[in-house]
Structure 1
Amino acid sequence: MRDSTQSAIFGALSNELRMSSIANNLANVNTSAFKKDKLAFHDTFVRFAHDYLVDSKTSIRGKDMFPEGHIMAKARLSAQQPDFQQGSLERTGNQLDFALSGQGFFSVQGDDGMLYTRAGNFVTDSNGMLRTLDGHPVLVSGGPLIVPPGGRIEADGDGNVLVNGQPAGAFDLVDFEDPTALERAGSNYFVDPGGAGQIPPEELAVAQGFIEKSNVEVVTEMVSMIETQRAFTMYTKMIQTDSDLDTKLITQVGRPTA
């Protein structure tokens, strides 16, 4: 296989994954507190030994000792990580809506363990338990919070919760030394597979009656989509050109002349 064909294949596959990421970001532009994915490309240039020479001449008037360096590229993606940049806050006036300002997460009890989210658009079930929209209990001082029917819930900027004017605990707010080590579990939840380093949040405020909006910028994503489409088309043309050259080489080179 030609090196150019191999590079084009890696480039096309990378842009296919990039397009899927962009499509997912755009699909969640209206999802509360959604964090867009960002991609990183790995340096996969293959360099020859003489490409590392700082000065290839023995003197000012000397001739080049080596031919001009050649670098081959096999483009590929090295990482796909959520971008935890703060989204804008939108006022709702709903007493069960809470937004986080700063770096940190709400803790909720998932089916298979602890989940972390920034989406604070909570609801209460028939028993008055505070839950996420997906039904996961929101943890307040280590356990679920029960709000009596018609009860009034209040929270201050530090996350301390009052129910009908009586202290009911505080939201279990957490932060991580390395949030990029978290793994996405659904559109709005993250799990810690180990290594993220849970720490107490600093400079994290809770705003009641607000929700955090998605940090997806539609214009930026659309521009990236057009760029990705054009790059994918370029790589597929490279593959087709190489295929045509190989076909021509097989069918014409070595053919006896009349």
Structure 2
Amino acid sequence: MEMSMYSALFGALTTETRLNISANNLANVNTTGYKRDRVSFEDTFFRYAHDYGMDPRGDIREKQLLPRSDLVAQPRLAMQQIDFSQGALTATGNPLDVAIQGPGFFKVAAPGGAYYTRNGAFHRSPEGMLVTDQDMPVLGNGGPIQLPDGRASIDATGAVYVDGAQVGQVDVVTVQNPEALQKFGANLYMPQTGSTIQEGVAEAGRTEVAQGFLEKPNVEVVEEMVSMIETQRTFEAYQKVMTSSSELDSKAIRVGTDKM
């Protein structure tokens, strides 16, 4: 099979991955606190066996006996990263809606342990706990936060008040190595397998909690749409290369058969 077929195939597969990521980003354009995924690609070089058949001296043979060295580049997915850049804040007026301005995460309890999130759409559960919009307990000082009956509010440091009396402190933490986080689902993040998260306390003045606001996703709709169009056209180009390569192979086989 022609090397062009392999190159086009790997290019199409990586392009399909890029298209799926853009589609997922667009699907979460209304998800509170969502962080988009980004990918990067690299060329992987392959050497032929005769590339290593080098003579120790250039004057041993007068004529070149082996073909010139060749390198074949094939595109590969090099890295997929989460873009943790700040999203815009939108006012809701709900005293239990909070958004993080700056680096940091809320911590919530879910089956399997504690997870990180940027989604601050909180409310009071029937059991009197501060929970997320998916009814996961919000952690404060390592445990769930109980909300007595009354008028609740959350200040810029994450302190929770009911009728003016502090009843808890929302855990707002920073992660020194966010590249070690992976998406778990339900807009949650967890450490990658084998990774250790370096967690720290959010710095005052650098990270603040905005009451009555929610963070929008950091997805640029126009940018993602342009990326999808570009990716689709690239995928179609790879398809044409594979079709042309297949036709050339078929033609070469027919010619070889006719000469036999």
Q: Distance in 1 between matches of 2:107 and 2:30?
A: 22
Q: What one-letter code is carried by the residue in structure 1 that aligns with 2:175? A: F
Residue 78 of structure 1: CA displacement? 1.9
Q: CA deviation at 1:69?
A: 7.3
Q: Provide, for residues 58-110 of structure 1, a one-character-per-residue CA deviation record: whole Å limited to 9, x for no partner.
A: xxxxxxxxx98754221010221211010000011101100001111000001
Correspondence for 2:241: 238
Q: CA deviation at 1:218?
A: 0.4
CA separation of 1:109 and 1:232: change in aligned 2, threshold 3 A: same
* 1:109-124 map, 5 Å: 109-124=109-124
TM norm structure 2: 0.87
Q: Give me the whole-angstrom Cα distance separating, in 2, the residues matched to 1:43 and 1:231.
A: 16
Distance in 1 between the 2:152 and 2:68 partners?
A: 72
1:25–1:162 distance in 2 versus 1, CA, 3 Å: same
**1:34 and 1:187 in contact (8 A); partners too:** no
**Number of residue pairs aligned between Structure 1 and Structure 2:** 243
Counterparts of residues 180-219 of structure 1 (less than 5 Å)? 180-193=179-192, 194-202=195-203, 203-219=206-222
* Structure 1 position 133, deviation (Å): 1.1
Determine if the alignment matches structure 1 residue 104 to structure 2 residue 104. Answer: yes
Structure-1 residue corresponding to 2:7: 7
Contact 2:95 2:154 (8 Å CA) reproduced: no
Identity, in percent, stands at 47
CA shift, 1:168, in A, is: 1.7
Deviation of residue 254 (structure 1)? Answer: 4.8
Residue 140 of structure 1 deviates from its aligned partner by: 1.5
| 1:223 match | 226
Matched residue, 1:55: none
Question: Is residue 139 of structure 1 aligned with residue 139 of structure 2?
Answer: yes
Tell me if structure 2 keeps the 8 A contact 1:132–1:138. Answer: yes
Is the Cα contact below 8 Å between 2:99 and 2:214 reproduced in 1? yes
How far the C-alpha of 1:188 sits from its partner, in A, is 1.1
Contact 1:180 1:196 (8 Å CA) reproduced: no
Deviation at 1:187, TM superposition (A): 4.3
2-side partners of 1:114 and 1:181: how far apart? 16
Separation in 2 of the partners of 1:116 and 1:143? 14
Distance 1:124 1:169, change over 3 A: closer
Q: List per-residue Cα deviations over 1:24-69 (Å, max 9, x = no partner).
A: 1000001101001101213413468xx9xxxxxxxxxxxxxxx987
Matches within 5 A, 1:1-258: 1-46=1-46, 71-149=71-149, 151-193=150-192, 194-202=195-203, 203-256=206-259
Residue type at the aligned position of 2:235: F
| Alignment RMSD (CA, Å) | 2.3
Name the aligned partner's letter for residue 123 of structure 1. H
**Shift of the alpha carbon at 1:229?**
0.3
Question: Which TM-score applies when normalising by structure 1?
Answer: 0.87
How far, CA to CA, are the matches of 1:68 and 1:211 in structure 2?
A: 61
Instruction: Please identify which structure carries the higher strand content.
Output: 2
Q: Secondary structure at the match of 2:254?
A: helix
